[in-house]
């Protein structure tokens, strides 16, 4: 006979409590570098996006289908890369439960 209790998953009995160790002297410096790197990447992607939009407009004006196709790919790539870059720290916090940046 079928017993549904054998199919249901068991409750976890092990709890892992991970807390960030911010006592090392270089942790704040690493956090500053990580935030700066994210900011620089978003600025570079914004510039690439503006250049891609400008090139796409030039492709439309000159009726160049190849230029429109390539710059369309550049625009989509810049938007996806900016979304991934902007959400990187939130993704780490969601996956690990550890905030990279303290509010303090």
The average pLDDT across 85-97 equals 79
Task: Report yes or no: 71 and 51 within 8 Å, Cβ to Cβ.
Answer: no
Residue that wins the pLDDT comparison between 17 and 1: 17
Query: How much is the pLDDT for 86?
Result: 87
Query: How much is the pLDDT for 104?
Result: 46
Q: Tens digit of pLDDT for each residue in 70-88? A: 999 999 999 999 999 988 8
What distance in Å separates the CA atoms of residue 80 and residue 92, rounded to the nearest whole number?
18
Task: Report yes or no: 22 and 92 within 8 Å, Cβ to Cβ.
Answer: no
pLDDT at 1 over 70: no
Query: How much is the pLDDT for 33?
Result: 86
What distance in Å separates the CA atoms of residue 70 and residue 61, rounded to the nearest whole number?
15
What distance in Å separates the CA atoms of residue 43 and residue 45, rounded to the nearest whole number?
5
What distance in Å separates the CA atoms of residue 57 and residue 63, rounded to the nearest whole number?
10
pLDDT at 66 over 80: yes
Q: Tens digit of pLDDT for each residue in 11-61? A: 656 666 666 667 778 877 887 888 888 899 999 999 999 999 999 999 999
């Amino acid at each position: 006979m079928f017993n549904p209790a054998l199919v249901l998953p068991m409750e976890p009995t092990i709890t892992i409590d991970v807390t960030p160790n911010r006592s090392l002297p270089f942790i704040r410096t690493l956090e500053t570098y990580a935030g700066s790197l994210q900011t620089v990447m978003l600025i570079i992607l914004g510039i690439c996006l503006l250049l891609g939009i400008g090139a796409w407009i030039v492709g439309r004006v000159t009726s160049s289908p190849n230029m429109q196709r390539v710059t369309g790919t550049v625009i989509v790539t810049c938007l996806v890369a900016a979304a991934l870059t902007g959400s990187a720290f939130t993704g780490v916090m969601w996956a690990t439960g550890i905030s990279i940046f303290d509010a303090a």
